[in-house]
Amino acid sequence: MSKYTKDPDVIANLTDEQRWVTQENGTERAGTGRLLRNKEPGIYVDVVSGEPLFASSDKYDSGCGWPSFTKPIEPAHIAELEDRTYGMVRTEVRSTHGDSHLGHVFPDGPQDRGGLRYCINSASLRFVHRDDMQAEGYGDYLNQVEEI
């Protein structure tokens, strides 16, 4: 059994924007996310379940207005679903255990790093600084986070 779950108490304590994005498939306005310009070393976890999703080492500035990553830190924690909303065909990404809407993945990322761009809402993420990862139970991922 996973230690990461969709906890109703956590959901009840989300901000309005976090709830709208993660539970109602919302999208924050481009350029407004609190983690967009974060360049600190660490990992990004699901704001609902805490499951590790992305490493700062895989974050890059795509210019799209949302935090962008080349790959998940733990592929099993990302579910990809077809999204046909708004007259488009896209691939939605959700956290596996928290079932949080995170954003979308597109095939226009850096070719030398796999070619994918995980375009993720800041409101769906909680950042854990490298210095706090061990204490917060994410020590197994330290080797995937570069020191600055």
Q: State whether the Cα torsion 126-35-128-113 is positive or negative.
A: positive
Cα 146 to Cα 25: distance, rounded to the nearest angstrom:
31
Given a contact cutoff of 8 angstroms between Cβ atoms, the answer to whether 46 and 98 are in contact is yes
Given a contact cutoff of 8 angstroms between Cβ atoms, the answer to whether 53 and 95 are in contact is yes
Tokens of 103: 């954003």
Q: State whether the Cα torsion 84-117-144-33 is positive or negative.
A: negative
**Please, what's the largest Cα pairwise distance for the chain?**
45
Catalytic residue among 47, 105, 119, 125: 119
Tokens of 126: 């909680």
Q: Locate tokens 């976090």: which residue?
A: 18
Q: Is 64 a catalytic residue?
A: no
Residues known to be catalytic: 119
